[in-house]
Amino acid sequence: MPRRLTAALAALLLTVTPWAATPATAAPRAAEQVLTWTADDDITRYKSAPTQAVAGATTIIWENSAATGNTTGMPHTLTFDTSTEGYNHDVTLNILANPFDVNNGRHEATVTLTPGRYRYFCTIPGHGQMVGELVVTDGGGGDDTTPPTVNGAVSGDRDQDGNYVGAATVTVTATDVGSGVDTVEYQVDDTSFQPYTQPVRVTAIGDHSVQFRATDQAGNTSAVGSVPFRIVEPTQEDTTPPAVTAALTGDRDGDGNYVGTATATLTATDEGSGVASIEYSLDGGAFTTYANPVVVNTVGMHMLHYRATDVAGNTSAEQMAHFTVVAPPVEDTTPPTVSATVTGDRNDDGAYVGGATVTVTATDDESGVAKVEYALGTGAWTTYSGPVTVRAVGAHTVRYRATDTAGNTSTEQSSTFTVVADGTDACPESDTRATVIIDGDDTGVANVDTGDGCTINDLIDEHADYPGHAEFVRHVEAVTTALVTGGTLDRRQQGAIVRAAARSDVGA
């Protein structure tokens, strides 16, 4: 969860509850006892939690921080149950904490506890196993002589005579306002008492009675209570197995393989007696009861078999899902390899006669080349789309670099060369206008002779054929850069000429 969203959620939760969290550095409120809950990266249980307390004013400390082992920034809540039957509902507590909130994950609240049992849990989806109980006594168990109050309730499908069809479920609840409930026991049809941990399901046809009792922390045991009921045969036998499906999720590559991890979620429905269980087998292993989505992160091909059984014992035909998990791609941290070649006619001194063509190439064996750039002299970087021809007389430097798809840029490299005029054709029809003019735009810069009878206007050659306007502007940049290097122009004059070229329609 993003830090900003987490902080916003924390603010919302603090708004709707009747208490306010205090900073970790604030002085503790006056209370007879302090109870501390902590959490770390686990979403199945609180790292530590109290189980016993005495009634009265109490400071609750809830800490989910780096200090308690939360290294991922995952939020958790501490929420007191205010609706489930059988628990105290007089404390409203709902604290969201994560290491990045304003209290660095440590919050306090002052409450008043009363004798009995409190149930607490985490309200964030996916944290359903983070639950526990707190037993509160009156602090003087020896004075408690009143046994708990215990009740039983029967539920299930009933016919018009009030009989339970196929099965009945008995739920037992107990409360004790003194020292608090210690144990709850039950027995079916006068068999033998055993600890009550969850609702009791009875499926045998006939008359039944479930007895129950409870004992508090002071040792007082209630009188035995009971609920009678009758179970009759279902009117129609269920012979249809459940329908079961699997949904695979995860990041996938272009071939449909799951990158790094695949998660299988199994779902079953049964319109008859209801689904009793779902089972799965991964890669030929033994069938296992399905409780949570199956996460597979082993690289390779996988086969998932699954089936479901209803309450009537009907099991579906085995279904199968086939998928492949591949390793995540290795991160590309290596920049491209880039090089340049200069070609053209050369004289005995190695200078290029009339012009030189620069060709830049780049390769990248990992994520691939995203772009190549070049710059003439100290000019701006320009995206390279094809060989660049430099005709301006003088010494030149071409800088070049490449960037790959992962964003890695190569070290800047350069090639230096010299262009000399073609002595057989040195501007026989020279442009001798007084100033440098491009497409009718007078720059005000003197159109001086640059050598070999050629003026600046001759070198710019606005009436030549250019592949496009951008290529013409780059040509003007190269010509004027060489003239600045040779001392014919200064930087201000070069800027005026290049801007005029950019404003023109030459090559458009």
Q: What is the pLDDT of residues 374-386, one digit of tens each?
A: 998 887 898 998 8
Q: Cβ(269)–Cβ(249) under 8 Å?
A: no
Angle at 61 between CA 143 and CA 175, to 5 degrees: 35
* Positive or negative: CA dihedral 44, 47, 52, 56: negative
- Report the pLDDT value the prediction gives residue 452, as an integer from 0 to 100: 66
Give the mean pLDDT of 397-406: 94
Q: Which of 8-22, 253-267, 434-448, 459-473 has the highest mean pLDDT?
A: 253-267
pLDDT digits (tens, 9 = 90+) for 81-140: 999 888 899 999 999 999 999 999 999 999 999 988 899 999 998 898 899 989 887 765
Query: pLDDT tens, 274-320?
Result: 999 999 999 999 999 999 999 999 999 999 999 999 999 999 999 99
Q: pLDDT per residue over 39-69, tens digit each? A: 999 999 998 999 888 888 899 999 999 999 9
Q: Is the pLDDT of residue 331 over 90?
A: no
Question: What is the tens place of the pLDDT at every residue in 162-221?
Answer: 999 999 999 999 999 888 899 999 999 988 899 999 999 999 999 999 999 999 888 899
Cβ atoms of 384 and 360 within 8 Å: the answer is yes
pLDDT band of residue 14 (cuts 50, 70, 90) is very low
Cβ atoms 447, 496 nearer than 8 A: no
b or e along 213-243 (b: 16 or more beta carbons within 10 Å of the residue's beta carbon)? bbbbbbebebeebebebebeebeeebeebbe
Higher pLDDT, 363 or 20: 363
Closest CA to 444 of 483, 499, 506: 499
Mean pLDDT of the chain: 88
404-447 pLDDT, tens per residue?
999 999 999 999 999 887 765 567 678 888 899 999 999 999 98
pLDDT of residue 329: 84
Asked if 134 and 120 count as a contact pair (C-beta separation under 8 A), the reply is yes
The pLDDT value recorded for residue 423 is: 62
Contact yes or no for 446/455 (Cβ under 8 A): no
